[in-house]
Chain A
């Protein structure tokens, strides 16, 4: 079958296919059945922005023999302008059943190109496919450090900075993660977004559920993209939320999608314009401007339209611990919400405050204040989902370890929170990126939840590498997630770089057993309150127990659980018995904490972690998918920065 298909395909040499493109395009208009158009390649994505004919030639080469099917659609933003997404589906990786699903097959048949050469070279596998959708940024010259830019050319020639370094489009990579599929581990589509570049792609929601759109944020553009995944591997743009749609907040970080398919988004930075900002409920807070303080919580409809902007700051000064801003605010606040998770059944949403975004890097000047790293977690009443209301502001307590710098104290930089999931549990965890600690509160529904430190990364840093510096401060922990059955807690730790007087700490993925802690109900005994416990673990019997650590070279920052399971009926179903997770090695290049841009899969068995060795890069053959590659379905744009990912299927494939 494959041989036959290839034989017929050979008659469709590339020039012939290109000649047919106008006809294909006409078919789109006339019949409306073709959802994807055989590609004339990357002309709209090549964008650039270059002064060299060399790049043009390169792109011409790319066009030769393209197997890439493109489809572009746009939505109108609040400013009246069009914002688009453009799919670049690699038809050479898709079996006919998937091409049929996309409507390509019939279109090609109508063009006289049907039969076995219906666009694919892959044998029909009869599988329903599961994908990882990865939100990735173009890596370009703006991500280079000064020292990398000192390679002056010896002459003025073509393409001195190179296509790889040009500013290219950010994109969603669609990676096939269907066990047993021929295209396992391959990038079957890249959906570029535009016209905005340099979004600094950041987070999507934590888990995807059937019927949900994807909400994806761009830190630097202050934009939220909303994507329809129902026709995967194709993505559609459903909406875009622009800075002018969230005037009281900026720098969107993370999202939590509720059962009604609407979402909450944390906007970490302050109002777009310094001064007073009026929120949806009519209240007013004074902010110090874009990427400053205070941030906000935004309620978005299923297409990303703003329903409500809710203030994260109270009307009183937050003074339990120091909350600096630059410039200072008349009412000090630590309100820069980053992580967000919710328990709809408990009408409670939790957000953690990380940093005042714009004032962290003061390089080469030392930070004016270590107290820009926030030690706070906020609790919200979401009993009226479209009117989220701040209920309480809680401070993580300082721990027994003395930070080498003030922002290494345990409570500093509360990047992420994760809630427990089972009806009998009401607790939540918080972790601190610079503090290197994990906290727990047993009941998020009480008026003033109390936090206690239950883990210190100093406990596992030494286990991962006995030669490393065990000190937990600055270990750069990030993604933290309870298993959906509440047995385990997963945590990505990027590690601390070595210096002349610090051996640093290794990167790893950590699994903790939290069953005893949760079983302790409203009165957990575990407390890291001695220095010994910071390095050896809590003395109390209900403290989290280390189940496993998986070394993760390259610096994992983010992860996602695979909550989808292929049932005996051939369809996917959601599960709480998670068997694998994905993680990626990228934070934010311009902070100096970058990562090696790899995406990995990990199999899970009773909390034990095993990297999936079959999930290999299609170009290098190495374990994990490398986003530092020369070429993508959308062109030779070079390395990309994968920040976050979600396990998703097409709507028809999940019940």
Chain B
């Protein structure tokens, strides 16, 4: 094979150029805009001139993705400031409640670390600042803000002395889906970002807004497999999102058809019992971690383990339990999945790859009907060595499962 006649290779380059050109063009365009650095304490509300100092010495926040700021399009902006690199993502960038993700990492050679408690997020002229917090099931720091229509500015403050403006376009029509501000928001945001990163359009809905056909197939394979293995009882963990509600109905219907009883997770496990989780990232991670954090002798003894819905391949979820089985229609070792995770690592080294985001990426590149071969995977911790004193963190921010593996364990499930 040679470079010239390798269509796969050519396609690869063309695709990569698309992303590269997109990003570079944006940098060039935005780089000339100039700079506004907000500095100083929050001060009195009426003295705007006193609150801001203006400088041309440092660059403005750069729009990292998308080419321009526009309503309904996740805005990702990055700026270096005070030895830190801030990456601020605001989505869906529509009037109403929006989700803000803040990543702050020290620049190479700088010791300065952003203390989470020093960060606040507010809308210029809006409500009081809020502290971005971690969300179970996902990485990053998150805050919810109310954006007005027009050209609002989100201010990310790093201590009392430093404020970074993130200018947005929310337009005058439309409003943000409630899912963005809820527990499924991080999944919405990461999927939207991945779609844009792939050169596609920003999705108009969140993954949690409906149960996709591929999710339905995955859940069906879980229930039929458990039944065929002799499982007598499914403990079902769900939440109130439209997707989870639909999934719950599906699992119950299938289980009934197979003669398998469905019980709440709090029920004492029966002789042959499996936990099936169809909730969103946050409740799934919270509930699994609550069990995993118990002394081993107090953890529920489920003979047939934990089975996760397909959308739960997020490091924050799978690392909340010691091991789980998950149906996927892709392998994280596939070339396409690697391309996604490594592109993410390149442009967003603070963000871990997730299944939902990858599917959004894949749809943007290959079309809405893109499907892979469905199979079961084991998502399990797989590194083995005591966390000795003095050992550095084992975690990487780019792995599908830091300190673990997601390994195919079945033949195609149809």
Closest to A218 in B: B407
Contacts of A141 in B (CB 8 A): 342, 345, 396, 398
Q: B9-52 CB contact bits vs A (8 Å, 1 = yes)?
A: 10011011101100110010000000000000000000000000
Task: Name the residue on A nearest B64 (C-beta).
Answer: A156
Residues of A within 8 A of B383 (CB): 360-361, 588, 590-591
Distance of B411 from chain A, by nearest CB (Å): 6
Q: Does B69 touch A at the CB level, under 8 Å?
A: no
1/0 per position for A376-404, CB-CB distance to B under 8 A?
00000000000000000000000000000
Chain B contact-residue range equals 35 or more
CB distance from A519 to the nearest CB of B (A): 37
Contacts A63-B3, A274-B303, A361-B403 given; does A587 touch B323 at CB 8 Å: no
Output the least CB separation between A589 and chain B (Å): 8
Contact B378 A272 (CB under 8 A): yes
A618: Cβ under 8 A from any B Cβ: no
Within residues 129 to 179 of chain A, which ones have a CB less than 8 A from any CB in chain B? 141-147, 149-152, 154-156, 158-161, 165-167
How many A-B residue pairs have C-beta atoms within 8 angstroms? Tell me.
296
Which residues A343-368 have CB closer than 8 A to chain B? Answer: 354-368
A50 to B346, CA, bound (A): 9
Q: Please report which residues of chain B, range 358-414, place their CB below 8 angstroms from some CB of chain A when the two chains form the complex.
A: 376, 378, 380-399, 402-405, 407-412
Q: A40-B2, A141-B342, A499-B389 are in contact. Are A51 and B20 (CB under 8 A)?
A: yes
Establish whether residues B380 and A290, one from each chain, have CB atoms under 8 Å apart when the complex forms.
yes
Residue of A nearest to B225 (CB): A273
Given contacts A145-B393, A360-B386, contact A327 B300 (CB under 8 A): yes
Is A120 part of the contact surface with B, judged by Cβ < 8 Å?
A: no
Asked if residues A145 and B322 are in contact (CB atoms below 8 Å), the reply is no
Contact A243 B408 (CB under 8 A): yes
Interface contact A326-B24, CB-CB below 8 Å: no
In the complex, chain A residues 239-277 whose Cβ is within 8 Å of any chain B Cβ: 243-244, 247, 250-251, 269, 272-276
In the complex, A473 Cα to B186 Cα: how many Å? 44
CA–CA, A195 to B408, complex, Å?
A: 13
Residues of A within 8 Å of B263, CB to CB, are none
> Chain A contacts of B17 at CB under 8 A?
53
In contact, A289 and B299 (Cβ under 8 angstroms): no
User: In the assembled complex, which residues on chain B have CB atoms less than 8 Å from the CB atom of A160?
Assistant: 346-347, 349
Known contacts A221-B407, A289-B378; is-contact A156 B23 (Cβ 8 Å): yes
B105 touches A152 (CB 8 A): yes
Contact B382 A49 (CB under 8 A): no
Q: Is the CB of B323 within 8 A of A48?
A: no
Beta-carbon contacts under 8 Å, B321-351 to A: 322-325, 333, 335, 338-339, 342-343, 345-347, 349-350
Contact of B231 among A50, A275, A359 (CB under 8 A): A275
B177, CB-defined interface residue at 8 Å:
no
Question: Contacts A149-B397, A290-B407; is A47 near B335 (CB within 8 Å)?
Answer: yes
A355 to B381, CA, bound (A): 13
Taking the complex as formed, is A115 at the interface, i.e. its CB lies under 8 A from any CB of chain B?
A: no
Whole-angstrom distance from the CB of B239 to the nearest CB of chain A?
Answer: 23
With a CB–CB cut-off of 8 A, which chain B residues contact A234? none
Contact with B along A575-606 (1 / 0, CB 8 A): 00000000000011011110000000000000
Report A587 CB to chain B, min CB distance, Å.
7
Q: Determine the residue in chain A with the shortest Cβ distance to B109.
A: A151
> When the two chains form the complex, which single residue of A40, A154, A275, A356 contacts B1, counting CB atoms closer than 8 Å?
A40
B278-298 near A? 1/0 per residue, CB < 8 Å: 000000000000001101110
Q: Which of A59, A152, A357, A502 has the most C-beta atoms of chain B within 10 angstroms of its own C-beta?
A: A152
Q: Is B6 an interface residue (CB 8 A)?
A: yes
Q: Which residues of chain B come closer than 8 Å to A273, judged between CB atoms?
A: 229, 304-305, 325, 376, 378, 409
Q: How far is A428 from B345 in the complex, measured between Cα atoms in Å?
A: 48
Decide yes or no whether A498 CB sits under 8 A from chain B: yes
B325 and A146 form a contact (CB under 8 A): no
Q: In the assembly, what is the distance between CA of A159 and CA of B349, in Å?
A: 13
Contact A272 B409 (CB under 8 A): yes
Contact call B407/A222, Cβ cutoff below 8 A? yes
Verify if B108 is at the interface (C-beta below 8 Å from A). Answer: yes
Taking the closest CB of chain A, its distance from the CB of B138, in whole angstroms, is 16
Chain B residues closer than 8 Å to A365, beta-carbon distance: 293
Taking a contact as CB atoms under 8 Å apart, the answer to whether B342 and A358 are in contact is no
Does B67 belong to the interface (CB within 8 Å)?
no
**Is A563 part of the contact surface with B, judged by Cβ < 8 Å?**
no
User: B383 — nearest CB in chain A belongs to which residue?
Assistant: A590
- Of chain A, the residue at the smallest CB distance from B378 is A290
With a cutoff of 8 Å between Cβ atoms, the chain B residues found around residue A368 in the complex are 295-296
B6, B16, B386 pick with most chain A CB within 10 angstroms: B386
Q: Render B83-120 as a binary contact track against A, CB cut-off 8 A, 1 for contact.
A: 00100000000000000000001111000000000000
- B325 contacts which chain A residues (CB < 8 A)? 273-274, 289-290
Contact call B16/A149, Cβ cutoff below 8 A: no
Interface size class of A (residues with CB under 8 A): 35 or more
- Is A592's CB under 8 angstroms from B342's CB? no
Check B386–A367 contact: CB distance below 8 A: yes
B299 CB to nearest chain A CB (Å): 5
Q: What residue of chain A has the Cβ atom nearest to residue B376's Cβ?
A: A273
Q: How distant is the Cα of A354 from the Cα of B385 in the complex, in angstroms?
A: 10
Contacts of A251 in B (CB 8 A): 382
Check if A79 is an interface residue, CB within 8 A of chain B: yes
Residue A318 interfacial (CB < 8 Å) = no
Q: Does B80 contact A (CB under 8 A)?
A: yes
- List, in ascending order, chain A residues with CB within 8 A of B333's CB: 195-198, 221
Interchain CA distance A15-B365 in the complex, whole Å: 36
Residue A44 interfacial (CB < 8 Å): yes
Asked if B126 is at the interface (CB within 8 A of a chain A CB), the reply is: no
Contact A359 B301 (CB under 8 A): no
Given that A49-B335, A79-B411, A275-B231 are contacting pairs, would A326 and B19 also be in contact in the complex, using a CB cutoff of 8 Å?
no
**Residue among B27, B342, B391 making CB contact with A48, cutoff 8 Å:** B342
Complex CA gap A638/B13 in Å reads 22
Known: A198-B333, A275-B272. A497 touches B323 (CB 8 A): no
With A49-B335, A156-B64 already in contact, the answer to whether A143 and B23 are too (CB < 8 A) is no
Contacts of B398 in A (CB 8 A): 141-142, 149
Q: Which residues of the other chain, B, contact A44 by a CB distance below 8 angstroms?
A: 1
Instruction: Tell whether A324 is near chain B: CB-to-CB under 8 Å.
Output: yes
Query: Does A407 have its Cβ within 8 Å of any Cβ on chain B?
Result: yes
Chain B nearest CB, measured from A203 CB (Å): 14
CB pair A290–B385 under 8 Å, yes or no, is no
Partner of A593, one of B324, B338, B385: B385
Nearest A residue to B18 via CB reads: A51
A47, A155, A365, A369 — which one has the most chain B CB atoms within 10 A of its CB? A155
Chain B: which residue is nearest A290 at the CB level?
B378
Asked if B407 and A497 make an inter-chain contact with CB atoms under 8 angstroms apart, the answer reads no
Task: List 8 contacting pairs A-B, 8 Å CB cutoff, sorted by A.
Answer: A47-B338, A200-B382, A247-B409, A272-B378, A272-B409, A291-B323, A497-B391, A588-B385
Q: Other than A360-B381, A361-B386, give 10 A-B pairs with Cβ distance below 8 A.
A: A48-B339, A146-B397, A152-B105, A167-B338, A196-B333, A198-B405, A275-B230, A290-B378, A292-B323, A364-B393
Closest 10 CB pairs of A and B: A274-B305, A591-B385, A290-B378, A592-B391, A51-B16, A360-B384, A272-B409, A358-B381, A220-B405, A151-B108
Question: Which residues of A line the B interface, CB within 8 A?
Answer: 21, 40, 43-44, 47-53, 56, 59-60, 63, 79, 141-147, 149-152, 154-156, 158-161, 165-167, 195-198, 200, 219-222, 243-244, 247, 250-251, 269, 272-276, 286, 288-292, 324-328, 330, 354-369, 373, 405, 407, 434, 474, 496-499, 502, 504, 587-588, 590-593
